[in-house]
Chain A
Amino acid sequence: LAKTTQPISMDSYEGQEVNITCSHNNIATNDYITWYQQFPSQGPRFIIQGYKTKVTNEVASLFIPADRKSSTLSLPRVSLSDTAVYYCLVGDMGDDKIIFGKGTRLHILP
Chain B
Amino acid sequence: DVKVTQSSRYLVKRTGEKVFLECVQDMDHENMFWYRQDPGLGLRLIYFSYDVKMKEKGDIPEGYSVSREKKERFSLILESASTNQTSMYLCASSTVAGGPGDTGELFFGEGSRLTVL
A-B contacts, 25 listed (Cβ < 8 Å): A28-B101, A30-B101, A32-B102, A32-B103, A34-B105, A43-B90, A43-B92, A43-B108, A43-B111, A44-B90, A46-B106, A87-B43, A91-B97, A91-B100, A91-B102, A91-B103, A96-B48, A96-B50, A98-B45, A98-B103, A98-B106, A100-B44, A101-B42, A102-B40, A103-B42
Q: Which residues of B contact A91 (CB under 8 A)?
A: 97, 100-103
A30-48 interface (Cβ within 8 A of B): 30-32, 34, 36, 41-46
- Nearest chain B residue, comparing its CB with the CB of A8: B40
Q: Which residues of B contact A41 (CB under 8 A)?
A: 110-111
Contact of A100 among B40, B42, B56, B97 (CB under 8 A): B42
Looking at the assembled complex, report how far the CB atom of A64 sits from the nearest CB atom of chain B, in whole angstroms. Answer: 13
Contact of B110 among A42, A87, A100 (CB under 8 A): A42
Looking at the assembled complex, report how far the CB atom of B31 sits from the nearest CB atom of chain A, in whole angstroms. Answer: 8
Candidate in A30, A32, A93 with the most chain B CB atoms within 10 angstroms: A32
A residues lining the B interface (CB < 8 Å): 28-32, 34, 36, 41-46, 49, 87, 89, 91-93, 95-103
**Looking at chain B, what size class is its interface with the partner chain?**
20 to 34
User: How many angstroms between the C-alpha atoms of A30 and B56 in the bound complex?
Assistant: 22
